[in-house]
Amino acid sequence: MLNRRNALKVAAAGGAAALFPWDRLTGAGSEAVASSAATAEAAPIVPFAHAMPLPQTLAPTSRTLTSDLYEIRMREAQVEIVKGLTSKVRTYNGTFPGPTIKAVQNREVVVRQINELEVNTAVHLHGAHVLSEHDGLPMDTIVAGGERTYHYPNKQAAASLWYHDHAHHLEAENVYMGLHGLYLISDHNERSLPLPTGTYDVPLVIRDARVETDGTLLYTRPSDCPNMLVNGKERPYFQVAARKYRFRVYNACANRYFKLRFADGIEFTQIGADGGLLEKPVRKTELLMLGGERVDIVVDFSRYRVGQSVVLENPGAQTTERPEVMRFDIVRRAADYSFVPHRLTTYAPQPAATVERDFEIRTFPAMTINGLSYDPNRVDIQTRLGTTEVWTVRNVEAPLPAGKPDFHLWHSFHTHLTFFRVLERNGQPADARDVGLKDTVTLGPGETVKIAMTWGPYTGQYLYHCHQLGHSSGGQMGRIDVVA
């Protein structure tokens, strides 16, 4: 919901229909959306009714000496998100979320994507270093009934990536309706570490949703989305052994942040961020994640007795929402030879920056970066391959009073092609919140971050944008051309 001050700004800008893509995409003005949200009822929330499923791993259709080839059909499917209800979703290969692709460093993956949906799509492999023509740019769409083959070289370190839709103006709704899946790259270093592996290495793809009493998955404002899904199911439970697990946590929300903590406040260990493993692990009790972000953590359930349970909560939930995200049930003992070593990887030193740039992200009066909405034909930045730059990114919106839904005032700044490091947040040196190699960084209202990246390894056309997908759909996106 908009508060009065922002509602006035929106009115001045010509109405919320011009601002929020979920209004435009429903083909109706904000009043029609408001009335549909007001008359249709959200399904009652019954936590822990589902066992948490694990996304299927996709098998290659063929292999060559150098490449694994996959085929994915984007199509509608009927799935059960809330117990007892059937929801129509957009999927990769009929599953919600899509199937997981497991890649190995330096071995190419080729994915033939066939669009059997009635909407245009573009498949972006988030966090991957790929040629521009395989990046899934907003205008490089696969029209309904069409297909496209993407090549991913995987010349990068082990990391938890994801593929998701990026078609211009459609990405937020397409991702929300189900077009997202995991893509995990492994490498020799990761395999040599004594981390939990196999069935003890588990993805948690977390996102909000609004499922209506008739099962409809409704794309609407994040403040009207009371469901929290993990791996496609409303607030599931997951049976674990009393030992260590690695969890790859994804914020796959189209339009909101969440926080995560265990109800009893236990510590866990962060071992990875967007770009792969951290150099050194970090102990934490809470995560704050915005759209697109990934955090790899290790949780030790050996502190619990068999028969106990612990709930993972979202302290960032609205006061009207239930805080539970999922429940872990400790059901058995298991041998555990895994541990988190003091050193996980070593990053190449970052060259000194030779270019500095400033960015202002705005939600009001329009979705802009430095006052401009995305124009695919406008080159916002041109830089040379190999240039190291420091970007100062500022969220100019003022914070709302505590307790007001403020999802639309947060930004998740995302760069394609390259990872960055967070140098500073609000004038202070970056701390554990921003550790590791990143491709998304959270900006609360009024916050400023300084990030540093080196452009490469490829030349071509790439993007930077807000990963609150309602914002990027609305134009909070820019084009950077990397030239030789």
Q: What are phi and psi of 303, to 5 degrees?
A: -70, -15
Q: Which residue has the tokens 């050193």?
A: 343
Q: Which residue has the tokens 């452009």?
A: 455
- For residue 468, state whether it binds Cu ion (rule: CB under 5 A): yes
CA 27 to chain centre: 26
* Smallest gap from residue 84 Cβ to Cu ion (A): 35
The one among 124, 294, 471, 479 contacting Cu ion by CB under 5 A: 471
Nearest to Cu ion of 105, 223 (CB atom): 223
* Smallest gap from residue 253 Cβ to Cu ion (A): 12
* Smallest gap from residue 273 Cβ to Cu ion (A): 20
Positions in 257-296 near Cu ion (CB under 5 A): none
Nearest to Cu ion of 47, 445 (CB atom): 445
- Give the C-alpha separation, 209 to 178, whole Å: 10
- Give the C-alpha separation, 78 to 85, whole Å: 10
Cα–Cα distances in Å, from 138 out to 133, 376, 439, 472, 477?
11, 8, 18, 10, 10
Nearest to Cu ion of 17, 443 (CB atom): 443
The one among 466, 469, 477, 482 contacting Cu ion by CB under 5 A: 466
* Smallest gap from residue 312 Cβ to Cu ion (A): 26
- For residue 465, state whether it binds Cu ion (rule: CB under 5 A): no
Q: Residue 111, exposed/middle/buried by CB under 10 A (0-12, 13-18, 19+)?
A: buried
Nearest 5 degrees, angle CA 363-CA 129-CA 232? 60
Using the contact rule CB under 5 A, the part of the chain among 222-230, 293-301, 415-423, 461-469 near Cu ion is: 461-469
* Beta-carbon count within 10 A of 37 CB: 18
* Smallest gap from residue 258 Cβ to Cu ion (A): 16
Q: Whose CB is nearest to Cu ion?
A: 466
* Smallest gap from residue 413 Cβ to Cu ion (A): 8
Using the contact rule CB under 5 A, the part of the chain among 25-33, 69-77, 190-198, 469-477 near Cu ion is: 469-477
- For residue 480, state whether it binds Cu ion (rule: CB under 5 A): no
- Give the C-alpha separation, 88 to 108, whole Å: 33
- For residue 185, state whether it binds Cu ion (rule: CB under 5 A): no
* Beta-carbon count within 10 A of 462 CB: 22
Local structure of 422: helix, strand or coil = strand
Nearest to Cu ion of 365, 386 (CB atom): 365
Residue 250: enclosing H or E segment and its boundaries? strand 244-251
- For residue 221, state whether it binds Cu ion (rule: CB under 5 A): no
* Smallest gap from residue 421 Cβ to Cu ion (A): 21
Residues 6+ apart with CB under 8 A from 38: none
Nearest to Cu ion of 195, 254 (CB atom): 254
- Give the C-alpha separation, 335 to 244, whole Å: 10
Positions in 399-428 near Cu ion (CB under 5 A): 411
# binding residues, Cu ion (CB under 5 A): 5
Note the residues at the interface with Cu ion (CB under 5 A): 411, 466, 468, 471, 476
